[in-house]
Amino acid sequence: MNLASLAFKNLWYRKMRTGLTILGVGTSIAVFVSLVGLAGVFTDEFRQMYKSRQTDLVVREKGNFDFLSSGIDEQYADKLAQLPEVLSVSKVLLDFSLAGAKDYFLVLGWEKNSRLYSKIKIQGRIPQEEEEALVGANIARKLGKKIGDKIEVKGNRFTICGVFESKSMFEEGSVVVPLEKLQKIKKVPGKVTLLNLSVKKGGFAQGKPVNEQQQIEGTRSLIAGLLPDTEVRSIEDIVSADNTMTYFLNFAWAVSIIAFIAAILGIINTMVTSVLEQTSKIGILLAIGWRKSRILALVLYEAVLLGVLGGGFGLALGYGIMNILVSSPQLQNIGRIDYNLIFMAKVILVSLAVGFLSGIYPAIRAISIKTIEALRYE
């Protein structure tokens, strides 16, 4: 018999209390897993959307953090395309449109000859006419639309000329319409939300291969000087600076911290009750010569076990909740769940820390009991 098995037996002896505590801790951990996990799913999808387009830099209006209201002159694209450092420039206009009473989808305005079409898998064809639209597979499935059907985008009827699949589920939940048409609908002629840039990479300088990141950074500085009313950002900058994602991640952490505090209080309550109940048993351990450090370790073991068991349960529950949320009609285009082992290991470590922190007060309380008073407790 060792301390760990004694701690486990102690918990097993009080099955109901242990079960309820694990349920409480697990629920708190599940809140963390599902909210932070969803934020991660959202961020990964956003990043994937740019990566699938082989976008290195994004040019957008300076100082306007709102994607929907920001806009830059589309002629900037022609200027940038002439730079020897730039491989390609794609114009994108963004908006949202309602689908039915509650749902909405992303609307992308692309040029007819946009390079972005080559990054998606199209069944049907690219829009040729103003009233034609290319519909993401997700949104087509959700709305029950197929090629030849009509779809309403911001009050305008479009004929579906194709359905597309993308590496990004976020993109698969969107509808692509001709850029000029969306500019008319939004009443922003000559404006685009952003420009997607691919930088020319590779080559040698002074006999050594050129660092791609340095090439991207160099091009970014060049454009920033050339177009001072714009800001040029790398994909990672955009992902980390996106307001919606930042708010969601902050919200996820805030709720998670409250949930962690609830978990810590739950374990403290369980362990203090346990220590009180076992006062006389702790007294006999002190009487027979157990060191206080061993009793401290026993209580901490129990608390850590509660934390880790709660963490394991919370992890399973959290991923279950995420699966339900991601497959719900409202969020089905948000992305794919990444069963990241490092994230799971971190969750278990956090649970362990929650258990340890929760065990400190009850453990100190246990070793503060005077032997003779402990033995008289019953």
Partner 1 sequence: MNKDCLIQTVDLSRFYEDGRVQALEGVSLQVPAGEFLGVKGPSGSGKSTLLHLIGGLDRPSSGEVYFSGQKAGELYRRKGFRLNHLGFVFQSFYLWPVLNVLENVSLPLMESSLSRQKKLQKAKEIINLVGISDKINASVHNLSIGQRQRVAIARALIMDPQLVLADEPTGNLDSRNTENILALFKTLNKQKKVTIIMVTHEEKALEYCDRCIQISDGKLQ
- Does the protein bind partner 1 through residue 316 (CB under 8 A)? no
What sign has the CA pseudo-torsion 117, 122, 125, 128? negative
CB of 291 to partner 1, least distance (A): 7
- Does the protein bind partner 1 through residue 297 (CB under 8 A)? no
CB of 103 to partner 1, least distance (A): 55
Residue 311 near residue 33, CB atoms below 8 Å? no
- Does the protein bind partner 1 through residue 277 (CB under 8 A)? no
Q: Which of 20, 226, 287, 345 binds partner 1 (CB under 8 A)?
A: 287
- Does the protein bind partner 1 through residue 294 (CB under 8 A)? yes
- Does the protein bind partner 1 through residue 19 (CB under 8 A)? no
- Does the protein bind partner 1 through residue 234 (CB under 8 A)? no
CB of 358 to partner 1, least distance (A): 21
- Does the protein bind partner 1 through residue 12 (CB under 8 A)? yes
Q: How many residues comprise the chain?
A: 378
Question: Pattern of binders to partner 1 over 178-197, x per CB under 8 A?
Answer: --------------------
* Total of residues contacting partner 1 (CB under 8 A): 23
CA atoms within 13 Å, Cβ hemisphere of 5? 2
| Four-point Cα dihedral 166, 172, 177, 183, nearest 10 | -110
Single-letter residue type at 157: R
Q: Which of 280, 344, 352, 365 binds partner 1 (CB under 8 A)?
A: 280
- Does the protein bind partner 1 through residue 290 (CB under 8 A)? yes
- Does the protein bind partner 1 through residue 1 (CB under 8 A)? yes
CA nearest to 258, candidates 20, 23, 32, 19: 32
- Does the protein bind partner 1 through residue 291 (CB under 8 A)? yes
- Does the protein bind partner 1 through residue 378 (CB under 8 A)? yes
- Contacts to partner 1 by CB under 8 A: 1-3, 6, 9-10, 12-13, 280-281, 283-285, 287-291, 294, 371-372, 375, 378
